[in-house]
Chain A
Amino acid sequence: MNIPKDGLKLGTTLYSLTTEFHAREYTFEQLVRKVAAENLGPGLEIVGFQSFRGFPNVSDEFADQFKALIDETGLTLSCLGINADVWINPEVPMSEEESVAYHKRQLDAAAKLGFPLVRYQFPAGANVIEKCVPHAEKLGVKMGLEIHAPHHTQHPDILAYREMYERVRSPLLGFIPDFGASARAVPPSYFDTQRANGVPDGLIALAEEYWHLDVGTPFERRDQYVQAARAKGYEERHIIGLEIIFGLFSRADPRSWSEIMPQVIHIHGKFFDFDESGDEIAVDLAKVLPVFVEGGYNGFMSSEYEGYMWTDADGFDKIRRHHQLARRVLAPLQG
């Protein structure tokens, strides 16, 4: 596989293939081989707790087998998704020390499997991540905070990390933009599923209208939508069924990613649906990718399909389309 050295490179996260994996249609090894065979790399991202039994414990034997599989396919490990599971006991959250230890074990797994970086999640807290930095530096594993809707670069939760990064100044700390945070529309397939479940068109139109409003935060718009929907007498279960759009997709200006560009170490190319001309309907790649190319981003974008949450559409077909679109947008930018 011919991998360019610099610039924005394509890849796939196996998370996009949740439907196929969960349904036991493909084993983990079969998914990896098919991603390579269909030229859906070269970057390969994996969620530890999805793909690896016993994660974050990794045996020497498994690590050897895994590395041999990656070597065989010619893929490049881009990112390991780790989780901030502070509420494993739903009644008592982990202490900061427990959470540090929990994150360190996942960093160890990343290093052992050969991943250069991990995606971590904001519920970890900036203090916990700061305390993990010496360990990450010892292992040489980068740590990227995923900025996922409804977050954006100026959200207080993200600013807390930006301030910590400014203070700590470790080259191993970075960010992972998720393109669902800078969407232009709600994926139509989500609304199609809701319609099939009996949610009225009028309520869907109302939710969509509030999603597009230019006032307040996403959650304020959500609360306004709920009030308006109740005033119109819609069924509560239908109203609640649409609330999720205000958290899963949000409307940050794609150009806002340039604020953190030097610290972007990986990208989640979140996507859902395509129109007849092959454009992604919710995520405007023609607007968002130039921000990264012109900003000098050097790393992978994992094609991250998340429509599996409401449909069983073929994940491989979705990723193929996403790569095709990304190549079309990138060609004139990258020369």
Chain B
Amino acid sequence: MMEHRVVSDGGLQVTPNGCAIDIRLPWYRSLPLSVVEVGDVEIDGTLIDRSRIRFELNGESLRLDELLPRTDDWWYVLDSAMLRIDGYVVARNEPHVVSVTVSIRPPYIHGWTRITKTTKTITVQ
């Protein structure tokens, strides 16, 4: 079951410039970034502006609209990607409701999109 796996347990982090969310690929196998789309990202009910979010994986930092052309860059199924949101400060030691939607288009199933949304309540120590 992948419904609870997009946002990792304890996956909200405080960074020097804001916050970051540890996310996982909600599928059984590795996929190229070209078939992965990060959808809505919400913290405590606030929809985060997509232009503020960076997708970090394999040592690269991408805008969310830069995934589609990445046909040669793979998200290995065991790796976390980080969604870095600079300027968005979350308080420590209080619960935050974090919600992330990731859509994938398995490259051997034409025309099918699988949408997985995970919501977790996370307290940053």
A50 engages B110 (CB within 8 Å): no
Task: Report if B117 contacts A (CB, 8 A).
Answer: no
Task: Report if A262 contacts B (CB, 8 A).
Answer: no
Interchain CA distance A185-B28 in the complex, whole Å: 24
B105 nearest in chain A by CB position:
A90
Task: Report if A153 contacts B (CB, 8 A).
Answer: no
Task: Tell me the smallest distance from the CB of B77 to a CB of chain A, in Å.
Answer: 6
Task: Tell me the smallest distance from the CB of B31 to a CB of chain A, in Å.
Answer: 8
User: Given known contacts A22-B78, A24-B78, A312-B1, is B30 in contact with A87 (CB within 8 Å)?
Assistant: no
Interface residues of B, CB < 8 Å — how many? Answer: 22
Q: For chain B, residues 1 to 17, give those with C-beta under 8 angstroms from any C-beta of chain A.
A: 1-2, 5
A86 engages B108 (CB within 8 Å): yes
Which one of A251-259, A303-311, A318-326 is at the B interface? A303-311
Interchain CA distance A23-B32 in the complex, whole Å: 20
* CB-defined contacts of A232 to chain B, threshold 8 Å: none
Which listed residue, A15, A54, A87, A123, touches B35 by the CB 8 Å rule? A87
A311 engages B108 (CB within 8 Å): no
* CB-defined contacts of A90 to chain B, threshold 8 Å: 34-35, 68, 105, 107
* CB-defined contacts of B68 to chain A, threshold 8 Å: 90
B107 engages A88 (CB within 8 Å): yes
Task: Report if B88 contacts A (CB, 8 A).
Answer: no
A311 engages B107 (CB within 8 Å): no
Interchain CA distance A23-B109 in the complex, whole Å: 25
User: Given known contacts A88-B71, A311-B1, is B28 in contact with A50 (CB within 8 Å)?
Assistant: yes
Interchain CA distance A81-B109 in the complex, whole Å: 16
B110 engages A22 (CB within 8 Å): no
B1 engages A121 (CB within 8 Å): no
Which listed residue, B1, B2, B24, B107, touches A85 by the CB 8 Å rule? B107
Extra contacts, 20 of them, besides A49-B30, A87-B108, A310-B1 (Cβ < 8 A), are A19-B1, A21-B78, A22-B77, A23-B5, A24-B78, A49-B77, A50-B29, A50-B77, A53-B30, A54-B76, A83-B29, A83-B107, A83-B108, A85-B107, A85-B108, A86-B110, A87-B109, A88-B34, A89-B34, A312-B1
5 cross-chain CB contacts under 8 A: A19-B1, A49-B30, A53-B78, A86-B108, A87-B110
Ranked 9 nearest A-B pairs via Cβ: A85-B107, A49-B29, A50-B29, A87-B107, A18-B28, A88-B107, A84-B108, A49-B30, A53-B76
